[in-house]
Structure 1
Amino acid sequence: MNNMEKRNQTAFPGFILLGLTEDPKLQPVLVSMFFSIYLVTIFGNMLIVLISISDSHLHTPMYLLLSNLSLNDICLSTSTIPMMLVNIQENNQSITYKGCITQMNFVLIFSGMENCLLAVMAYDRYVAICHPLRYTVIMEPCFCILLILLSLLISIMDSLMHSLMVLRLPFCTHLEIPSFFCELPKMLKLACSDTLIDNILIYISSCIFAGIPLSGIVFSYIHIMSSILRMSSSEGKHKAFTTCGSHLSVVFLFYGTGFGVYITSIVMDSSRKTAVASVMYSVVPQMLNPFIYSLRNRDMKDAMRKFFSRIASVL
């Protein structure tokens, strides 16, 4: 073991999260804004979960998957925002090596889980529209739970692979991460060794763990659109479009912001601007998902009215 590796393992101080701005006047604004975003994210997603559990009409595979997506959004937001708020409040931007690896690990798990769940939800809509008579047979609860567990396992495997890859890298100087949380690509740039193999591994794993679910979503919606266009009833077409509209909106939001962050990191030289772009990917979709499903889904709106009516009657 050389001196560089020894230093990395024994005396490594950790990282500095630069955040979104160095202007002290903007720090209170950021705290207020992100605290509000976090509260809305937690409240909105917990409301989706509670309504899905409390209303028997929503005890279907679609809302089982939606509840898990909401729980995942809560976990993803919790893995980044609270630590950022604490760092701003305490005026301390440092994070330990173990803390950074742990945070990166959780972000990768929940991001990967979101990716897989969106693919499973697309398959659920494909079966519901293209094979409606076999829907209850194919999408039985045990099968749905199996798909959810498989999504979690795939996400953990992907995260573990990247974490082990980062753990073997030496970090010596220039420990500043231009973001408000520990992002894998930005951590690799701080390594004081060749990361070509690591970057190749990232691209390969992205093609496998992100490309396959995205391909599944595209495949599902090609067949869904084909089935909808063959429908003779305009009411049937409208109902099919309505059931898919919420999911498609979430898909475009998740992949659109992710693609936007990737393009921004290539085009823009400013690390601050790429950090702001990361907010769009890691914070905004999780906050907006409950609004998309509650405003565009008639069953969810009806269940929400019943839920609040019951609470009002109790009070």
Structure 2
Amino acid sequence: MRKFLTIFTLSLLAVSCIDNDYDLSDIDTDDIGIGDENSVFTCPLMTLRVAVADIVNEQGDLDGILAEADVWLPSRLPDGAEAVDVKRLTGGDGQQAQQAYVQTLLTVLQEEIDADASDRKLEQIARQIYAEYREDFLPDYLPVDVDEAEYIAAFRTVYHQQATHDLIWENIELFAARYLTTNLRIDVRPFVLSGIDVGADVRDMIVGGDESKTSLSLFGDIATDLPVSFSAEPSFEAEVEGSDRTLFSFPSFTVFPTAEAPVEIEETSVSADALTVIFDQETRIELNMQLENYYPGRSLDLGQGITINLKVRKKGGLIFNV
């Protein structure tokens, strides 16, 4: 299912979201002014929902990406670890650390295959190779134009033959390392926001005023029930005067899979001009997300995802044009 985006109605901001320190009795001038430089106004801005199908790379969506990773990973991780260190696996901690970690995983994988008389893991690998790679995986040794059951039987036979065992393993190792080091990099399809239609008066109430006496910021929280942790650095992008421009971005933060305990998104200053563009124009919201850890023992289904709640805060007086 495509991403879900809810924009909270802001038309009642003037009544429902003004903090108690605004004195509604102190109104004067041709425009209505409420509060002073010490007043604080806060209101929900939007909720973003990222579905499993929105987290993608060239291999497909997150469900398919992790399903194939499970094939190439050992069923039990080294040293009893609960999570795969995806950051290290994809080179985030340097090439030397990456190579050492890959080799550790593959050593445990080979030990699992060779210790299992039922060939359960070997069959799982053979099935994946048959589905995706059989024309590239030693076609001189394994039949290509056969059904899956016949291919798996041939794969088991060739693997267990002394003359070809090492050759088959070296190629399993090659395909596993290639997938795990390159295909766990993911992206999130950008949200496309066609403005926030609250009306010019409400927009001006939020972004207007003397900039020397007011300030604007965005903040919120993010939670996930996906079996991954990840870093994110959300940004708002738009075309301004004919060129792409980053209107606003949050500092990077890390999210762990605890939906019941959302991670706070740090309050970050935003300019009145940038917020005006977000209200008035088409804006792309990029999450700039990178996987950090994968927890193979945790469930994943299409109803899971990422939820982001954003709020806007204004410090200083509000102006109503009348």
The TM-score with structure 2 as length reference comes to: 0.23
Give the greater-gyration-radius structure (CA): 2
| Structure number with higher strand proportion | 2
| Structure number with higher helix proportion | 1
